[in-house]
Amino acid sequence: MSLDERTRPRTLQLSTIGSRTPVQRDRAIDGLRALALLAVPTGHWLIGGFVRDPDTSLHNASPLSTFAPLAPITWVLQMLGIFFLVGGYASVQSFRRAAERGEPTGHWVRGRLARLLRPAVGVTAVWALLAPLLYVAGVPETTIHTAATLVVQPLWFVCVYAVVTVLTPYCMAANRRLGAWAAAPLVATIAIVDFLRYGPFADSIPYWVGLISLFPGWMFAYQLGVSWGEKRLGRRGAWLLLLGGAALFAVLLVVFHYPASMVGVPGQDRTNSHPPSLLVIALAAAQSGAAILLRDRIAALLQRPVLWAPVTAVNASAMTILCWHQTAMVAAALPASYLGAVHGLTTSPDFATWMLTRLPWLPLFAAILILIAQVTRRFELPWTGVTRTTRILAGGLAVGFSAFALYLL
């Protein structure tokens, strides 16, 4: 068989994917979404480790706790600002199409929420059944607790994204009135809360005040995406976001001594991400500006079938990747915990070279995730044929497991 004959099926398949893509499909938006989405498992797999205790049980550990120079990695891997940006953009387009079809706003909202919540209910319901089975099989209780907290960790995103999705019509109304400046009050809110939490009156401010930042912090990039989708945010605004965000980021780090890591670090009393601080806003602004400026180049690159095919695959299983990637890592580490100390997998991440031993495990995590997705991707599809009783049972299991895992956090 000649080389041409061996490569022809793959070439034809890639070409078919491209030809089946609607002309009006915004490939740049899909590409940015896929990039931001893949940053989530990459970040968790790269800077989230396990430590094996003498009784073979596993508990969480992070190399960021012992090796601070790794913090800049989180500046690259924290791409939720991009995810919310393209989410706002895509929601505007979807909302417009629904309005043109005469679809009521409530119906559109319910449809978007169902797409978000089905996979989250699926993973937590499955784990509600799996956890007791692991316990009966002799898996240490500490390991089960560790796995439970890891499974629910990414699901906070689903809750926040669901809320901002519901608020899409109001974001659009704010954009019609203020344009891209509709995001400014959100920035002001975060700045005020940060001042209260970390300023001269910090000792007298209750903890719950920080929670005020939760939704405005992540809605900032979503509101920018709405303005972008409504064509009220162009290249001039993008440059302002890029340069202004980068400058603010540097000032917050150098002058105001914000924590360098964009994710929580065990042992530190301050965190940038839960709830989001002004540093998260600065990074999201710079990322959003760069994304808008690079849109045309990204779209041109994704005209190539070899690049477009993986983007379509990732977007087709977006929520599955988000909900199940931690399970894939646990599935690799759990058997290894019975083999002793496995470098990069069950050894303490307390030295810089641990990262080098960790990297070879990432392809295994990805392969396990792909295998899991073959079964669990059905949770993303409409639950047609599923009885009301089964849905109620799944919801009850999901709530029960989530409550259990959150109690452990």
Q: Is the peptide bond before 22 cis (omega within 30 degrees of 0)?
A: no
Mean pLDDT of 144-150: 94
Residue 54 — pLDDT band, cuts 50, 70, 90?
A: confident
Share of the chain above pLDDT 90, in %: 71
Q: Most distant CA pair in the chain: distance in Å?
A: 77
What residue spans define the domains of the chain?
A: 45-408
Q: What is the mean pLDDT of residues 204-215?
A: 90
Quickly state the pLDDT bin for 353 (edges 50, 70, 90).
Answer: confident
∠ Cα 250 254 256 (to 5°): 105
Q: How confident is the model at residue 25 (pLDDT cuts 50, 70, 90)?
A: confident
- pLDDT for res 165: 96
Of how many residues is the chain composed? 409
Contact indicator for 362, 45 with CB cutoff of 8 Å: yes
Residues 6+ apart with CB under 8 A from 175: 182, 223, 226, 227, 230, 232
Nearest to 183 by CA among 295, 281, 95: 281
- pLDDT tens for each residue of 82-123: 999 999 999 999 999 999 999 999 999 999 999 999 999 999
Phi, psi of 55, deg, nearest 5: -90, 15
Cα 6 → chain centroid: 38
